[in-house]
Chains A and B, each alone.
Chain A
Amino acid sequence: EVKLEESGGGLVQPGGSMKLSCAASGFTFSDAWMDWVRQSPEKGLEWVAEIRSKANNHATYYAESVKGRFTISRDDSKSSVYLQMNSLRAEDTGIYYCTRHDYAFDYWGQGTTLTVSS
């Protein structure tokens, strides 16, 4: 059974940092492309970042809205993907989902909530 479990959300002040983690199981993680998708009432579902497999040189891609502030990474030995978020803004508030990207996003975690507020 495929499982994706996010952790690390919470309340952070504007300008602050937060790191999200996602632990994966039930599939060959090292072969998978992994993405972060967020959701908020204001913006709906928004793709955030992607990291590809080792076969694709762990290439990374970002939404323009987070480029330069967020960094996606992975540790295949731990079957985990991470999202380091710096210079956080109020508009980064939302539920962050870890997803597996196989054609489309075929598996999603339960999500972790990030609130950016003073």
Chain B
Amino acid sequence: DIQMTQSPASLSASVGETVTITCRASENIYSYLAWYQQKQGKSPQLLVYNAKTLAEGVPSRFSGSGSGTQFSLKINSLQPEDFGSYYCQHHYGTPLTFGAGTKLELK
């Protein structure tokens, strides 16, 4: 199975800051990488797929990059609604696996 390793596990930031979350795959997944946001008590929501394609309705302050085994999610100018947990997931065939998550907290 492909292992997904996310870092950092937690991150404190202020409104207006720019943050980057990274995700590493244990083998080449080309660009088959998705990012999700999850707020407390809610279902995950798709932000990015195919490494850099924003899902419908996702603000442009979110951007994804990378290919192969190294990926990142960048959030420019953090807004209050951006705080929560973020997960990467490969979609390069089954079994699909997720990273352990990054908890983004308000500093």
Contact = CB atoms under 8 A, between A and B. Distances in A.
Contacts of A61: 94-95
Interface residues of B, number: 20
Contacts, number: 49
By secondary structure, the B interface counts as: loop
A50 interface: yes
A47 B44 CA distance: 13
B46 interface: yes
Interface stretch (A13-21, A75-83, A86-94, A99-107): A99-107
Contact of B43 (A35, A44, A50, A110): A110
Nearest to A100: B46
Contact of A104 (B1, B91, B94): B91
Contacts of A64: 1, 95
